[in-house]
Amino acid sequence: MKLEAVELVDLFTNYKGAANDRIALHQVMTDTRKEAKQSLFVPIVGDAFDAHDFLKQAIQQGAVAALWQENRALPKFVPTDFPVFYVKDTTEALQQLAEYYLRKINPLVIGVTGSNGKTTTKDMAASVLSTIYNTHKTAGNFNNHIGLPLTVLSMPEGTEALVLEMGMNNAGEISLLSRLATPDYAIITNIGESHLENLGSREAIASAKAEILEGLKPNGKVIIDGDEALLAQLKKEERSISCGFKQLCNYTISVEAAEDNRSVFSVNGIRYELPMAGSHNVKNAAFVIALCEQLQMPTKSIQQGLNHLTMSGMRFEKHEGIKGSLIINDAYNASPTSMKAVIEVVHQLQAKKHKVLVLGDMFELGEKSLALHAGVGEAIPAGIHAVYTLGNQAKEISTAAAAKNPQMEVYHFTDKKELISQLLNTITEDTVVLLKASRKMKLEELLLDLTD
C-alpha cells in the first residue's frame, strides 16, 4: 500500500491528531500480534476479540495512525498528535479505504468465484497475466469481506492487473465484494454444494455466485462454466462468455491427452499444455485462456504462464511418501464435487497401481450432508483399492463404497492415530495415498507420518 494520512481526511472527516500531515502509510495492521511498521491500525471487532483493546500493542508494533469506532473512548495513553480517524464501523471503513485505493491504482480487475476452483483459477490467472502485466493476487484464501479489502490494500503502487478471489457463505456476500472491486472480468468456476447448509439449494448457490455481475463494469465480461445447467440463464447475459466441454460454448475445450503430470487440450482449436492432471483443472485453465484471449494476449504468453504456474498449497500437492510411495495432499477443503473430481484424477494415475483414499468429513452441507457423503462413496470407481474414512459423516462414504464394491478394502476410523497405524502397514512403493476433507479436519496432519 502507498498512502498518506492526509489522503484519509477526505474519506473519514471526523479525525484528531496530525491527520493532515503527510505521514506515510505503507500497510494496514489488523493483527497486533504481528509487527507492521508504518501501518494504519484497523481494529476489527471479531468473534473472539475486539482489536480496539490492543491499540497500545498496535503502536508498539509499528502503527502510526488508526481508524477508531466513533462510539469508543480513546485510551488516555494515545499521544495527542497520533492521527485517529473516527468511523461508524471499522470493517466497513476498511472496505471503503480499499475502494479508494483501488480507484487510485486503477488496475485491470479480475474477480474469481465459484463453489470449487477459485484459488486454483486465481493462481492460474495470476501466473498467466504476470507474463505481461505487473500482477497482484489474493494471498492464499483471503477471499471474504475482510480478506478481499486487505488484498486490495496490499497491492503495490505499480500494479496493472489484480486477481481477486471472492468467497461466500451466504447470499449477498459476493455482491458486496463485487461492488467494492468492480471487476473488468469475472469468472464463475462451477456450482457445487459448498455452503449448501446456508444457501439451501444449488439453485440458490448459483444465484449467489451470479451476484458477481452486480459490480461488473458495464463493458466487463463474465466467464462462466458453460457445462453447468444452473448457469444456463447467465449464458443469455450479453456480457457473458461460456467455457466448457460442450459444443455450445463460446470457448469449447477438447482434451487430447491426460497424463499424471500434464494435460494436453485445445480451446477453440488452439492447443495448450497444462502441467497438472484433472479435467477440472483443464477447465480452470480454459477460463483463464478465455480471459487472456479476451485481453488479446498472444498464445505464446498464455502457454508460458501455464508452464510456470505457482499454486497455493494443499491443492493436489504431491509429496514423496515413505517407501517410495506418492502422497497427494488435497486437504485444504472438500465438498462432494471437489472430492469426486480429485478421486477421478487419482483413479486415472498411471504411476501407482495401489490406490488408497483417505477421506474425511465434509462440512456445511446442510440436511442432505449424510446422503451427499454416501454419494461420494457410491462414485468411488472399482480401480481404487482401499478407502479409509475419518469422522462421523465420512462413515457414510465407506459404507456406500463397501456396498458398491465388495472387493474394495474399506475402513472407518474416528481417530487419526488409529487410521495412520493401520495405513502405514499397507504402503508400498506402488502406493498412492490421497488426503481429502474439509478444512476443520486438518487431514494434512497425517503427512507427518506418511512422509520421511
Ligand X SMILES: CC(=O)N[C@H]1[C@@H](OP(=O)(O)OP(=O)(O)OC[C@H]2O[C@@H](n3ccc(=O)[nH]c3=O)[C@H](O)[C@@H]2O)O[C@H](CO)[C@@H](O)[C@@H]1O[C@H](C)C(=O)N[C@@H](C)C(=O)N[C@H](CCC(=O)N[C@@H](CCC[C@@H](N)C(=O)O)C(=O)O)C(=O)O
Ligand Y SMILES: C[C@@H](N)C(=O)N[C@H](C)C(=O)O
Ligand Z SMILES: Nc1ncnc2c1ncn2[C@@H]1O[C@H](COP(=O)(O)OP(=O)(O)OP(=O)(O)O)[C@@H](O)[C@H]1O
Q: Which residues bind ligand X (CB under 6 A)?
A: 30-33, 44, 46-49, 51, 54, 140-144, 146-147, 150, 167-169, 173
User: Are 398 and 421 contacting, i.e. CB atoms less than 8 angstroms apart?
Assistant: no
Beta carbon of residue 330, minimum distance to ligand X (angstroms, whole number) = 15
Q: Is residue 197 at the binding interface for ligand Y, with CB under 6 A as the rule?
A: no
Please provide the DSSP assignment of 75-130 as one string.
PTTS-TTS-EEEES-HHHHHHHHHHHHHHHH--EEEEEE-SS-HHHHHHHHHHHHT
Question: Burial level of 235, CB count in 10 A (0-12/13-18/19+)?
Answer: middle
| Cell 485462456 -> residue | 289
Total Cβ atoms within 10 A of residue 125: 27
Residue with smaller CB distance to ligand X, 118 or 373: 118
Beta carbon of residue 140, minimum distance to ligand Z (angstroms, whole number) = 9
Residue with smaller CB distance to ligand Z, 261 or 422: 261
Which of 137, 280, 355, 395 touches ligand Z (CB under 6 A)? Answer: 280
Beta carbon of residue 190, minimum distance to ligand Y (angstroms, whole number) = 16
Which of 185, 251, 363, 413 touches ligand Y (CB under 6 A)? Answer: 363
Count of residues that interact with ligand Z, criterion CB under 6 A: 23
User: Are 156 and 102 contacting, i.e. CB atoms less than 8 angstroms apart?
Assistant: no
Angle between helices 395-404 and 369-379 (to 10 degrees): 40
- Determine the Cα–Cα distance for residues 401 and 395; give it in Å rounded to an integer: 10
* Helix and strand counts by DSSP (H, E) for the chain: 16, 22
Residue ranges of the alpha helices (H) in 115-195?
Answer: 118-129, 147-153, 173-181
Listed ranges 98-106, 176-184, 391-399, 434-442: which one lies at the site for ligand Y (CB under 6 A): 434-442
Residue with smaller CB distance to ligand X, 66 or 328: 66
Residue 341 binding result from ligand Y, ligand X, ligand Z, none, given CB thresholds of 5 to 8 Å by partner type: ligand Z
User: Are 173 and 199 contacting, i.e. CB atoms less than 8 angstroms apart?
Assistant: no
Q: Is residue 332 at the binding interface for ligand Y, with CB under 6 A as the rule?
A: no
Q: Is residue 438 at the binding interface for ligand Y, with CB under 6 A as the rule?
A: yes
End-to-end CA distance of the chain: 41
For the segment 111-150, give every residue that binds ligand Z (CB under 6 A): 114, 116-120, 141
Strand order across the 108-113 sheet: 135-137, 161-165, 108-113, 185-188, 221-225, 240-244, 251-258, 263-267, 270-274
Residue 363 binding result from ligand Z, ligand Y, ligand X, none, given CB thresholds of 5 to 8 Å by partner type: ligand Y
Furthest CA-CA distance within the chain: 75
Listed ranges 50-58, 178-186, 210-218, 433-441: which one lies at the site for ligand Y (CB under 6 A): 433-441
Binding mask 297-326 for ligand Y (x = CB under 6 A): ------------------------------
Listed ranges 63-71, 316-324, 392-400, 436-444: which one lies at the site for ligand Y (CB under 6 A): 436-444
Beta carbon of residue 36, minimum distance to ligand X (angstroms, whole number) = 10
Q: Is residue 439 at the binding interface for ligand Y, with CB under 6 A as the rule?
A: yes
Residue with smaller CB distance to ligand X, 252 or 369: 369
Q: Is residue 104 at the binding interface for ligand Y, with CB under 6 A as the rule?
A: no
- Determine the Cα–Cα distance for residues 265 and 257; give it in Å rounded to an integer: 7
Q: Which residues bind ligand Y (CB under 6 A)?
A: 169, 333, 363-364, 438-440
